[in-house]
Structure 1
């Protein structure tokens, strides 16, 4: 579901989705949306966060590992996949689809 930034808080109050894709031309607005999602996750008891920065030579298997690895301190975690200037290709797209198929919805993915 596509949302405008002013709609995000209302949607989050209805419950967390397993995946969020935040994109846009205005860097400040995208950062504020990500901050809003992070804050809502904390309010829902999701205190662990794993950040994956996609850079040249990134191993996409790290995303699968992050989604499948058990946390020592929490039942759920927020996984942030930061694409930066990277573009999605066939391998990254296939890995993202695999992550979604394997996911039980307990973790939250923020792209």
Structure 2
């Protein structure tokens, strides 16, 4: 298990603007694994040590704030989507626009498109 990195945490903060009820989930959210593909990265989450204080509302959605992530080494940057299934933050998927990427999040800038 790993902690969220800065980019993952920042994107989840944007998710909380639309779904504020998910804020109580963050202390229990851990990275289960990160899977690198040739042109993207999937970050799977799991919940650890949660109790009755956390609620799982009936939310099923794919979330993206219509932003582009500019990153050194990528000409067109990254897009992303966050999956919420049965009220749980399930995964975060990053995709390039056809470029090869090693899945490492170096310095970045999030730009509204």
The TM-score range, normalised by the shorter chain, is: under 0.3
Higher relative contact order (CA 8 A, sep 6+): 1
TM-score, scaled to structure 1: 0.26
TM-score, scaled to structure 2: 0.26
Larger helix proportion, structure 1 or 2? 1
Larger strand proportion, structure 1 or 2? 2
